A and B are shown apart, each in its own frame.
Chain A
């Protein structure tokens, strides 16, 4: 029997099954993704990153930032929150419903709760309990909101509001999810540190922004040059004495540094999607809303409802 041919067939079959399962099938699913709509607002997601941010992705890749920083956020589970939006007209019925839902409340507490606006009736409960509570309160004529809240250590740490899903990386090439958390996760760093100047100072000398940081300084992304006429608006300010340039000189970020900072500031993966449901607090009426809204991104606010 020609064992050589048998071995070849065995190898072929095994590798083909693996290729079929882990290359072809994911390509049919995740590889065909297009922009999707957020839920429930129906806004397009994700948006293509602005040009400088796209260049920044390249700098991120070339300097191997992904070997210390991950860009993937996980959630342990999902809980619900029931919010009493409007107690309605029939106070007594709502009171009775509230007491049934929150058996641990006294009547006085329940009355006080109705008086407060936008009260959290139930926090961190399973969907079924939340649904029942919501139904009971609605039957009493109140208006409720059922919030979907992802929970997990990453959420608690402020690294994200929900888990990251395939749609979040649609415009990234290459996708650098990282495999270590030697530095904090960067999936939503644009929400935590939206100031490009902070990012630039951190890149120049991580220890001035984060005490005892083990991150290497990226001073080669900056250049020191003589101040001509007046300081450049990009120049780094308030550097400590041992890092500050001499009098008459300034530290200016190169285009690479600016691109990297723009990329980092643009990183946020918190839009509520079908496969990662999330309820975001309603944003306040935007003051300079024209610009924000014309880019189809609802301005996000980190503040909790009152």
Chain B
């Protein structure tokens, strides 16, 4: 069969099944295997992020990803102002003075400036209905205030906190900021409720939220 130029294709001898020799695997192949195993483990150590699901190349470790996180210093007043002016100011006015027949003023309001935020947070979360007295003046709006931040999808805890902080520090108001944690606590408590708050109901609640 060897070296024979052929036109037809000869079928190999029908009964000649191949056999296998018994030469052992050469040592250098094993050595190469272990070398590659070692090297690839070194590479994995460098670039694999140790199976952490939040480490993406080019970051090489979780601490590195944490390191590069932008630091948030204090409440974002600009965002609070932006959101206020696009949503709340439609009724309360960009100057916080309120609009007759629509909304009471926020500037100088005792509801806004109260140290405790238990009542304040609930107002944008569920809205408010009923005759209300703001800093000595009486107001009554027939349909009350709708909930402008009923769910976290509509407005996250952080954004609502920023808005309330802005309201408490604008137009001469000087009240401490509202934190996202405080908003979260109140919202968790309110759960799935969708009915508006009544003024009487809020007045029955303590000003300070439960810790």
Contact = CB atoms under 8 A, between A and B. Distances in A.
A196 B113 CA distance: 48
B17 interface: no
A42 B70 CA distance: 12
B70 A272 contact: yes
B65 A296 contact: no
B51, B59, B70, B71: residue with the most chain A Cβ atoms closer than 10 Å:
B70
Contact of A296 (B56, B68, B87, B154): B154
B85 interface: yes
B65 A274 contact: yes
Interface stretch (A107-115, A171-179, A199-207, A281-289): A281-289
Contacts of A78: 58-59, 68
B82 A41 contact: no
A42 B156 contact: yes
B156 A296 contact: yes
Interface of A is mostly: loop
B207 interface: no
Interface string A254-296: 0000000000000000001011110100100110011001101
Contacts of A282: 78
Nearest to B62: A275
A70 to B, nearest CB: 16
A54 to B, nearest CB: 18
A167 B96 CA distance: 39
Given A41-B158, A44-B153, A146-B70, A275 B55 contact: yes
Given A29-B53, A165-B56, A285 B79 contact: no
A30 B82 contact: no
Interface residues of A, number: 35
Contact of B68 (A163, A277, A286): A277
A211 B69 CA distance: 41
B58 A76 contact: yes
Given A29-B53, A40-B72, A282-B78, A290 B86 contact: yes
Contacts of A294: 87, 154
Given A40-B70, A42-B159, A285 B58 contact: no
A170 to B, nearest CB: 14
A39 interface: yes
Contacts of A146: 70-71
B133 to A, nearest CB: 30
A275 B56 contact: yes
Given A29-B53, A275-B56, A43 B69 contact: no
A146 B153 CA distance: 29
A163 to B, nearest CB: 6
Interface string A125-148: 001000000000000000000111
A43 B70 contact: no
A289 B68 contact: no
28 contacts: A37-B156, A39-B70, A40-B72, A41-B76, A41-B79, A42-B156, A42-B180, A43-B159, A77-B58, A148-B68, A148-B70, A163-B56, A274-B54, A275-B54, A275-B65, A276-B56, A277-B70, A279-B70, A282-B78, A285-B81, A289-B83, A290-B87, A290-B90, A293-B83, A293-B86, A293-B87, A296-B154, A296-B156
Interface of B: 51, 53-59, 65, 67-72, 76, 78-79, 81-83, 85-87, 90, 152-159, 180
Given A37-B156, A163-B56, 13 more contacts: A29-B53, A39-B70, A40-B69, A41-B158, A43-B156, A146-B71, A148-B70, A163-B57, A275-B54, A286-B86, A290-B86, A290-B87, A296-B154
